[in-house]
Amino acid sequence: MTLFAAQRIMRLMDDCSFVDSALLDELLTSLRALPDAYAELTPLGPAAPSHSPIDAQITLHVGGQSIALLVEIKKSVFPRDVRQTLWRFKSPQYRLEDTMHPMLVAESLSPGAKEILRAERIGYFDSGGSLFLPVRGAYIYIDKPPPKPLARSVRSLFSGRRAQVLHALLANPEQWFGVTEVAARAQVAPSTASDVLTELERFDWLVARGQGPGKERHLRAPDELLDAWAKQIVTQRPPALRRYFVPGLPSEPLMERLGKTFEMHQVTYAVSNEAAAQRYAPFLSGISQVRVRMLPSTHSEMAMASLDARVVNEGANLAVIETKSAGELLFRQNVGGVWLANPVQVYLDLLRGEGRAKEMAAHLRQERIKF
């Protein structure tokens, strides 16, 4: 790039309000890397809608034509933001010539926001390098992993105490609730519950009514929330297992004895994976192993000794997932005298299982979770 061209671009950027020059530079680099394409930052044309918050205009030469990209820059974009933008694009006042295309550029675009923009054929670009541009004579779609800040934010939403809030919501997906109520259900601080609810609203998974302390929320899309959680869970390492063999007992009698023994020793636990799913929604003819989530303690050690459970490397019929807090066992259910992890937790655990575990997960979701 010549010094004159660089100075010209800087002047154009200075003339635009709310413009992130680094993002624009990344976008220009990506567009220029396309086959037989060239892009340059240009002044807003007289036909551009003056009432719209356009931050910059890029002229793209591709497919034998010149296209004006009307760029709106944001820090982060979630489905709620996209719906507001689409409403503006579709308003009668927002009229564009055939050679003009609106485009959202952001440091981060959530997966849901990208999906909506693609469905509406609105261009986008984020700092991770994802690019979508459906223009006449060219269809450009480059999908890359989300930027690290967004990826970290999404991961944290589905882990630790924040995950307890999600379990509380999904356990009662049709109810309206306030911050204090959901915090009490999830056994977290009201500030943690408030942070999670705010994030869920940004993803458009919640709807709200009222204002101030009386504000209530309702899960608009529990299925979308669970889908997003499922996508996250399969990217994580399965939890570490302690494997045992309890002699002389197949899975069903083992669960019965386990329930009585753990109750006798006051052990807090919840059976998960295939054994729990089989009780919630029978699917397989037989289960070879019982997996249980359990808080480690001297009581649990005594219970395992009472079961005559022996540590093994192979041939285990009992596996223990040691939980870090009682919050991981919230919303467990007693079925036939045995405590089972809540159906959503069982579903998520199955997604990281082996063999036919994923089939069983799909069956459990259809028959028991039902969203």
Secondary structure (DSSP) of 106-156: EEEE-HHHHHHHHHTT-EEEETT--EEEEETTEEEEE--PPPHHHHHHHHH
- 3 state DSSP class of 305: helix
Roughly what angle, to the nearest 10 degrees, separates helices 111-119 and 222-233?
120
Could you give the residue range(s) of every CATH 3.40.1350 domain in the chain? 3-146
Please tell me the predicted confidence (pLDDT) of residue 17. Answer: 40
Domain with CATH 1.10.10.10 in the chain: 158-233
Contacts of 43 (CB under 8 A, 6+ apart): 12, 15, 57
Q: What is the pLDDT along the chain (371 residues), one digit of tens a residue?
A: 444 444 444 444 444 444 468 889 999 999 999 988 899 998 876 655 555 578 889 999 987 888 899 999 988 888 888 888 888 777 766 667 777 888 999 988 988 899 999 999 999 999 989 999 998 778 899 998 888 777 777 888 999 999 999 999 999 999 999 999 999 999 999 999 999 999 898 888 998 898 888 899 999 999 999 999 999 998 888 888 999 999 987 878 899 999 999 999 999 999 999 999 999 999 988 888 999 999 889 999 999 999 999 999 999 999 999 898 888 999 999 999 999 999 999 999 999 998 899 999 999 999 999 99
Question: Closest Cα to residue 350, out of 368, 327, 336, 324?
Answer: 368
Rounded CA-CA distance 342/232 in Å is: 19
> Which among 59, 129, 40, 50 is positioned nearest to 101, based on CA atoms?
59
What does the block give as tokens for 281?
């929604």
pTM listed for this prediction: 0.73
Euclidean distance between the first and final Cα of the chain, in Å?
A: 54
Yes or no: is domain 3-146 CATH 3.40.1350? yes
Per-residue model confidence (pLDDT) at position 15: 42
Fold topology of 158-233: Arc Repressor Mutant, subunit A (1.10.10)
pLDDT of amino acid 307:
94
In this structure, which topology does domain 242-369 adopt according to CATH?
A: Beta Polymerase; domain 2 (3.30.460)
